[in-house]
Structure 1
Amino acid sequence: MDTSSPIRWQVRRFRELDLDMLYAVLRLRAEVFVVEQNCVYLDPDDRDRHPNTLHLLGLAADDALAAYLRVLPPGLAYPQVSFGRVVTAAAFRGRGLGDPLLREALREIDRHWPGTDVRIGAQAHLRTYYGRHGFVAASEPYLEDGIPHIDMLRRADGESGT
């Protein structure tokens, strides 16, 4: 696994993921969200397979999956476009991949759904991180799978609000 090479960003729909990449995505999500975070829940859901869901892959030179998130079309999780399952593989942490991953996601959202608001359910401790990208709190904190979360909104027009 080449953890020193630049990351290539690719976007694929579910049916465009080959079996090896689908396995890598599901394995990484299980390693982090189920095992590391000690949350027992069914990670793969029908949202992954929706024809308009986008899977953003951060790939190292050897095609190792370094970072990932999925973008959900409006109406699937929230009335607005959304994203989630934001994750960086343990071997690639500390390289500052989070901000480029989020910038790529916002670029793809603007390309596929121009002029739309984005709403996410974020782990509460990441409020400042998402705030750097224009998101503001849009709910009170709540527990999801035993982890404090908060809904956050990024308005397409740059206005804050709930």
Structure 2
Amino acid sequence: MTISWTTKPFEALTLAELYALLQLRSEVFVVEQTCPFQDIDGQDQVAYHLLGHTSTGELAAYARLFEAGRSYAQVSIGRVVTSPRYRRAGLGRQLLTQALAECEARFGAQPIKIGAQQYLQAFYESFGFVQQVEGYLEDGIPHLYMLRP
């Protein structure tokens, strides 16, 4: 699957892009995972937004990227999501590979922290992330703090 990747600060997002990314996050994090939570958390304005579009222009993958000190003390990646319509095609791997490359290009080579859903631990470990502390519950879903040195 060919994906076109773009990364933009909040103020450069078009209204259509903002709507699409909020719609995808809601579809997966709120509806699919049956987890009512405050997705609009005031962090979008300080994040870079990594958007992965199909050849037809549909948003298929998304993540937020933060410089050190914005979300955590370290550079971080959050709201990592792929559209249910495009799963099982390696898109999650493409998304994380792109997110790591964008973080390094924008912020330099430095540790990256994530708050990962626990069931994805092995996936993130395959990219060099290691669990930092005991797990925690966020919005009713088990999570882990993980760091990629």
Name the CA distance, whole Å, in 2 between partners of 1:139 and 1:23. 35
> Of 81, 85, 93, which residue of structure 2 is paired with 1:91?
85
Q: Which amino acid aligns with 2:23?
A: R
CA offset at residue 112 of structure 1?
1.1
- 5+ long unaligned stretches in structure 1: 156-162
TM-score normalised by length of structure 2: 0.97
After TM superposition, which residue ranges in structure 1, 4 or more long, deviate above 6 angstroms?
Answer: none
Secondary structure of the residue aligned to 1:68 is strand
CA offset at residue 60 of structure 1?
0.5
Aligned to 2:133: 139
Aligned to 1:102: 96
The 5 Å alignment of 1:1-162 reads: 5-50=1-46, 53-155=47-149
CA offset at residue 101 of structure 1?
0.6
Q: Which amino acid aligns with 1:68?
A: Y
Q: Which amino acid aligns with 2:25?
A: R
1:33-89 CA distance string (max 9 Å, x none):
011111111101211011xx2101110011100000011121122100111111111
CA offset at residue 16 of structure 1?
1.1
- 5+ long unaligned stretches in structure 2: none
Name the CA distance, whole Å, in 2 between partners of 1:110 and 1:91. 29
1:19-45 CA distance string (max 9 Å, x none):
111000000000100111111111012
CA offset at residue 115 of structure 1?
2.3
Name the CA distance, whole Å, in 2 between partners of 1:16 and 1:24. 14
Larger of the two Rg values belongs to structure:
1
Name the CA distance, whole Å, in 2 between partners of 1:149 and 1:91. 24
Aligned to 1:158: none
Name the CA distance, whole Å, in 2 between partners of 1:60 and 1:109. 22
Name the CA distance, whole Å, in 1 between partners of 2:143 and 2:84. 22
Secondary structure of the residue aligned to 2:44 is helix
Aligned residues: 149
1:99-146 CA distance string (max 9 Å, x none):
111111111111111121101100011110000101000010110000
